[in-house]
Structure 1
Amino acid sequence: MYRLAPATVLILAGLTALAAPLAANWSQRLEQQRDAFRQAWPEALDGDASSIRQHQLLLSDYPLYPDLQAAWLRSQLGRIDDAEIADFVSRHRGSSAIRDLRYRWAKSLASRGQWRSYLDIYDVDYSSSGDETLTCLSLNARLKLGPDEQFARDALAFWMNGESRAGECDPAFAWLEQQDVIGDDDRRRRIQLALDKRKFELAAWLARPMPEADREYVQMWRRMRHRPADVLVNWRQISDSEQHRDLIIYGVKRLARSDVEAAARVWAEVVNAYDFDTRQNRSVLRSLALTSARNHQPHAPEMIFGLERHMVDDTLLEWGARASLKHGDWASVLQAIGAMSEKNRGEAKWQYWRARALEANGRSDEAAGVYARLAQERGFYEFLAADRIAAPYQYNYIPADPDEQLLTRLENNHGLVRARELFFVDLHGKGRSEWDRSVADLTRAEKAQSAILANRWGWHSRAISTAARAGIFDDLAITYPMAFRELFEQHSESLGLPATWAFGIARSESLFMPDVTSSAGALGVMQVTPETGRLTARQARMRYRGRYTLLNPEDNIALGTFYLDRMLARFDDHQVLATAAYNAGPHRVDRWLPEDEAVAADIWVETVPYTETRGYLRRVLTADAIFHWRLTGNTRRLAAIMPPVPIAD
């Protein structure tokens, strides 16, 4: 280690005594600070402090200056005295500026074998965090410093989990093995935990040193997962025990995924041959009924209403209603909705389908009354109801009332100021985290004004999410902003697409966040995956530079709209199908097309197998209608873009 040079000490100083030069005005100075920060930030991450020193006077009172210092310190971990980092962390305790630095410093201490220092940080900042890696490192630290009597109990308790632990736990767990702390009964307990979580590979690994009977038990579970019918056909060879009863229940439910009727037959055979209790029997019968309904099988309503009444909940009834919709069984639709809880059947969705069922059963006047009540509100089912009776759409636009005094106070809130600056210097992810932490403890009124503030800054994702937290849904300028308007209009119009549709896609995909990455690897405003981006760029004859292209809003919107146009062409200009394909992929949509006759689009949307895609379709189609009204002042009815869904070719 070496002590810091005077120049480095200056970088870490608070600089409260230094006089910052005055810019022509506050706004100009703030822009200068942002420019200086943007220049210094990547250099600080790389360990280059030259820009920090160059702009030190300008940045000394900038809200993100501690972040810049922390970024540089992260680059120096293991190279400078830990006491200097400890001092910096202490001076900024409570600030999110040190969050990443403190975490990486803790891991650096562990990697360098500074176990006592590591435990000092862990015990204060991370012992209750639930961070698996840091907990593993804390066990290693205790092991290296000399395990006490409590260590074995703590390590064994952490080992006893149904999922694999982080690799950092290996030294502590190896010690448990060497000291014979882990016995066969412990292994059996963990194997069962792993099986309960369906972690079959972990269970097999744990069973390797166990007797043959234990290994065979695990293998039976693995076979049941992959070939339940083959295992269950020989169910008489499986002895009656608590574990085997759980195994058979798992197998029956697994078989039901592909063949509900076969699973029901097996259950009828085994239910009285084993000592299943009432709870287990009810669980299987409910699962069979639910799987039947999820698979849209025509006998699903019979299975559902064949259950004891207390076993039938709203989830079962909703899926039963969808199965009945799929088969045009309107009487069963009414039966399912009528059996729902008062709260559930009062939702717009089920009121709409109740009206559709009444209409189909010749009770048009009664249906019209339901449609008329729904049509007074804004939303997917409300717009569909208006279409059924040719009523005007009610957008119910009510601008939020700004409280300028409260807005001024919020503009000076330290956390919101930091969040704003992180947003304006393009550190969007850090900015969102800072914003969400800062608004979490605000009152509802303060959240409402914060949404207005974010909207004024053009920070649409935080404006939309914060408005929802505050219960603000009617200020459509906040909740349906036309972000990147010029880009959407340019690229949509060049392809002959409605820009409002592309707006709806982007709002549903990312809330217009240009930097966001999904768990599936999709990036940017329109959430384009690298594979789709590469292929689409080739078709569009665009230059493609991987993540750089996808995280650039103009390129992302160009690729997203081009791909959307390809989906529209693939599905013969059917906007509903193209929207579903954008979310779930065209090949899945191909599988969801009707086989015998065309289906009404509202029924098709409601019976899409994927819950995520059903919600996505509702959001995008509703947003399309709202954005069209916002852009033109006119109504484009959902009925105009929701023709019947044709049969598969």
Structure 2
Amino acid sequence: MKKGVTAALLAVGLLASTAAPGQTVSEPGDTRIVAAREALRKGDQRMLEQLAATTGPHVLDVYVRYWRLVNVLARPEPAPDAELDAFLHAEAGTVLAERLRADWLRRLAKDGDWARFVTLYPALRNPDYEMRCTAWTARLMTGDRSALEEVAQQWRTLDDAPAACDTPLRAAFESGSVSEDAVWQRARRQVDTRKPDDARITWRWLPAEAAPAAAQVEHALKSPGAWLDRLPANFSVTRGGRELVLAALTRVAREDSRGAYDRLLRLQDRLGSEERGHMMAVIAMHAALDQFPEALGLYRATAGVELTPLQRAWRVRAALRALDWKGVRDAIEALPDGEREAPEWTYWLGRAHAATGNRTEAETLFARIAGEPHFYGILAGEELGQPFSPPPSNGLLPAARLAEAESDPGLQRALALYRLDMRTEAIREWIWALRDRDEPFRLAAAHIALRNELYDRAINTAELANPRANFELRFLTPYRDLIEPQVRSQGLDLAWIYGLMRQESRFVVPARSSAGAQGLMQVMPATGKWVAGQIGLRNYSQSMLADPDTNVLLGTSYMRLILEGLDNHPVLASAGYNAGPGRARRWRDEKPLEGAIYAETIPFDETRDYVRKVMTNAVIYGAMLDRRPQSLKDRLGVVSPRPARE
């Protein structure tokens, strides 16, 4: 053995103690894999070279070579094409070959080697948003003008595209493949998002004489109300001036739809009819998001205006909130076919027909989705007198399919990565191993995940195998001896708590959100500290959130406190757990509102989806735990009006 390799292996032994918390370094060769991952993290080129110079029988040996090549691509010297090609050939079809190809393509783009990029790109099986845009740039740089037509065809889907898309997008406009009006419309849509500054980039593509005045853009986007109140009399002379006014009105509408409407009334005589219609649609949608009763009337004033998909959806929800069933029916029937056929609109159109006396049409619509194990399918089934009950198990999995999955190299690598607490790499391997596989293989993989207590993988894989079956794997009840006593002591519903935990963490103990929420119940540090004070938990520290017992104690205690403060209503409490109790209270109406309508009209997309899934989970868990059919409609109940003082 070479002297340098010997030194590297000695170093690996010394590094064994640097394994991350939770890592189990127990198999022969584990320490070398852990050391290589740490060397990559630190950018330790010398260590990676030494570790890659040896090979072993370890199932993750290929990762050492991959990490070395990733490090090589990050260096300023020329990329080793022959080595990269050899790895891609030897590991063809694996997730590491896919990732290395993507890494190499990014390097080629950085170097401006577009000819090589165009040659290498077609073999990339799953390009992300940024890579697809870079590929358009590469084709343009090598003279392939057909890319411009592809960009033009996908123009409406690229409003939030990454910076890599700027070159092909701008080229599509400058070549005439996209009209100037399409650029204005793109900027309008971008202004009505959390990243309005994206519109600045779009406006810069326009000729200098057409674009909004740069000196005014900053004020219009940052202080829109004050800017609008000081408008010069001649703002409407140019389209750029009028579009900047629309942008400022849109920014006001996001915070104060009534204030935006008042300003529109003052300015509308200096706007064109299309501009007025566009602005009225924006204000109507934000009034609906604000749950204002006048939203439906504002929508009626948009007759003839082309609405965006989001604006159309909130027109339906505004009618629902007003309990205007004819308005619900009309709004859904006006949707394009692809939108109208979504489960939510199928269900609500059925309800609208039932409420307006057309029971036959209603039952036809309910029958289309009844039996589907999602929020609207379960509700539709109940409208037909079919409370939810999970179908029976599919039976035993053939031993041969289980053996096939057990011997699959990708799943073996994933399990080894999980054992070493390299969860990100493990999840990538697992997902890649399931690509293009049939239902029995995926079901076998779900069983393997369960055997290894990888509950999130078991749930997700069983759902991928068949979202209408495999309930015993998709709705697991792990840690029940820990969870049930806490739930019972708090007087909570076990099915509801399991439904919430399934949505929060998929039962991954070390789960941690980007916002800092931790553990089985995804408790935020500040929330944990507050709840600890409320229940008298002494010597609390944030590190205790990582302990499953403490996490469940704090999480269930918080759920009890939220529930008590929100009329003991699980729909309100579910919304409160995700978005905060204050918001859940504000989202009530001045009149009683059925829980399904309350959930449908939650203005936050994430919370609306969260509440629907938690309540659906609760019904399924209830049916499985109690072994009897369950009613989602009963669980959703009726949300009481908010007090007049609120």
Q: Given the two structures, how large is their TM-score scaled by the length of structure 2?
A: 0.71
Q: Aligned AA for 1:559?
A: L
Deviation at 1:522, TM superposition (A): 1.2
Residues 247 and 327 from structure 1, CA distance in 2 versus in 1: closer, same or farther, beyond 3 angstroms? same
Paired position in structure 1 for 2:219: 223
**1:159-197 CA-partner distances (Å, limit 9, x unpaired):** xxx9999xxxxxxxxxxxxxxxxxxxxxxxxxx99x989
Distance 2:598 2:474 in 1: 27
Paired position in structure 1 for 2:582: 587
* 8 Å Cα contact 1:41-1:71 kept in structure 2: no
Deviation at 1:117, TM superposition (A): 6.9
Query: Out of 555, 563, 567, which is 2:562 matched to?
Result: 567
1:621 aligns with 2:587: no
* 8 Å Cα contact 1:45-1:75 kept in structure 2: no
**1:415-464 CA-partner distances (Å, limit 9, x unpaired):** 21121233345443432232123323545553343234323433221122
Paired position in structure 2 for 1:608: 602
Paired position in structure 1 for 2:375: 380
Deviation at 1:264, TM superposition (A): 3.9
Paired position in structure 2 for 1:630: 624
Q: Aligned AA for 2:245?
A: I
Where does 1:212-611 land on structure 2 (aligned, <5 Å)?
217-233=213-229, 234-238=231-235, 240-241=237-238, 243-257=240-254, 258=256, 259=258, 260-262=260-262, 264-265=264-265, 268-272=268-272, 283-284=278-279, 286-298=281-293, 300-301=295-296, 304=299, 307=302, 311-312=306-307, 314-363=309-358, 367=362, 375-387=370-382, 391-399=386-394, 402-443=397-438, 446-542=441-537, 548-594=543-589, 596-611=590-605
* 8 Å Cα contact 1:402-1:452 kept in structure 2: no
Paired position in structure 1 for 2:28: 59
**1:578-633 CA-partner distances (Å, limit 9, x unpaired):** 11100111111122122x32222222111111121111111111111111111120
Deviation at 1:491, TM superposition (A): 1.2
Q: Given the two structures, how large is their TM-score scaled by the length of structure 1?
A: 0.70
Which ranges in structure 2 are unaligned for 5 or more consecutive residues?
86-98, 113-136, 142-159, 164-186
Distance 2:494 2:631 in 1: 16
* 8 Å Cα contact 1:467-1:473 kept in structure 2: no
Residues 647 and 45 from structure 1, CA distance in 2 versus in 1: closer, same or farther, beyond 3 angstroms? closer
- Relative to structure 2, which stretch is displaced further, 298-307 or 219-228? 298-307
Corresponding residue pairs, total: 547
Deviation at 1:336, TM superposition (A): 1.1
**1:389-411 CA-partner distances (Å, limit 9, x unpaired):** 65433433443762321221221
Distance 1:493 1:484 in 2: 14
Distance 2:105 2:549 in 1: 38
Residues 202 and 358 from structure 1, CA distance in 2 versus in 1: closer, same or farther, beyond 3 angstroms? closer
Deviation at 1:83, TM superposition (A): 4.6
Paired position in structure 1 for 2:18: 43
Where does 1:77-96 land on structure 2 (aligned, <5 Å)?
80=46, 83-84=49-50, 87=53, 95-96=62-63
Residues 484 and 226 from structure 1, CA distance in 2 versus in 1: closer, same or farther, beyond 3 angstroms? same
Distance 1:88 1:117 in 2: 24
Which ranges in structure 1 are unaligned for 5 or more consecutive residues?
13-36, 110-114, 140-152, 166-191, 208-212
The secondary structure found in structure 1 opposite 2:434 is: helix
Distance 1:217 1:474 in 2: 58
The secondary structure found in structure 2 opposite 1:440 is: coil
Distance 2:103 2:358 in 1: 58
Structure with the bigger RCO (C-alpha within 8 Å, sep 6+) is 2
The secondary structure found in structure 1 opposite 2:250 is: helix
Distance 2:346 2:415 in 1: 42
**1:347-386 CA-partner distances (Å, limit 9, x unpaired):** 4422332333334334557656655775544332344345
Q: Aligned AA for 1:324?
A: A
* 8 Å Cα contact 1:74-1:105 kept in structure 2: no
Residues 434 and 547 from structure 1, CA distance in 2 versus in 1: closer, same or farther, beyond 3 angstroms? farther
* 8 Å Cα contact 1:495-1:562 kept in structure 2: yes
The secondary structure found in structure 2 opposite 1:311 is: coil
Deviation at 1:637, TM superposition (A): 2.6
Residues 82 and 322 from structure 1, CA distance in 2 versus in 1: closer, same or farther, beyond 3 angstroms? closer
Distance 1:249 1:88 in 2: 64
* 8 Å Cα contact 2:458-2:473 kept in structure 1: yes
* 8 Å Cα contact 2:559-2:573 kept in structure 1: yes
Paired position in structure 2 for 1:175: none
Distance 1:202 1:288 in 2: 19
* 8 Å Cα contact 1:330-1:360 kept in structure 2: yes
Distance 1:243 1:86 in 2: 59
* 8 Å Cα contact 1:576-1:642 kept in structure 2: yes
Distance 2:511 2:66 in 1: 20
- Relative to structure 2, which stretch is displaced further, 116-125 or 376-385? 116-125
Deviation at 1:312, TM superposition (A): 4.4
Residues 522 and 121 from structure 1, CA distance in 2 versus in 1: closer, same or farther, beyond 3 angstroms? farther
Paired position in structure 2 for 1:23: none
Distance 1:285 1:528 in 2: 41
* 8 Å Cα contact 1:298-1:324 kept in structure 2: no
Residues 445 and 244 from structure 1, CA distance in 2 versus in 1: closer, same or farther, beyond 3 angstroms? farther
- Relative to structure 2, which stretch is displaced further, 65-74 or 418-427? 65-74
Distance 2:308 2:110 in 1: 45
* 8 Å Cα contact 2:402-2:444 kept in structure 1: yes
Bigger radius of gyration: 1
Deviation at 1:314, TM superposition (A): 5.0
Deviation at 1:334, TM superposition (A): 1.3
Distance 2:33 2:482 in 1: 33
Q: Aligned AA for 1:59?
A: P
Distance 1:523 1:510 in 2: 9
Residues 406 and 283 from structure 1, CA distance in 2 versus in 1: closer, same or farther, beyond 3 angstroms? farther
The secondary structure found in structure 2 opposite 1:381 is: helix
Residues 546 and 122 from structure 1, CA distance in 2 versus in 1: closer, same or farther, beyond 3 angstroms? farther
* 8 Å Cα contact 2:615-2:632 kept in structure 1: yes
* 8 Å Cα contact 1:510-1:525 kept in structure 2: yes
Q: Aligned AA for 1:6?
A: T
Q: Aligned AA for 1:4?
A: G
Percent same amino acid among aligned pairs? 24
The secondary structure found in structure 1 opposite 2:397 is: coil
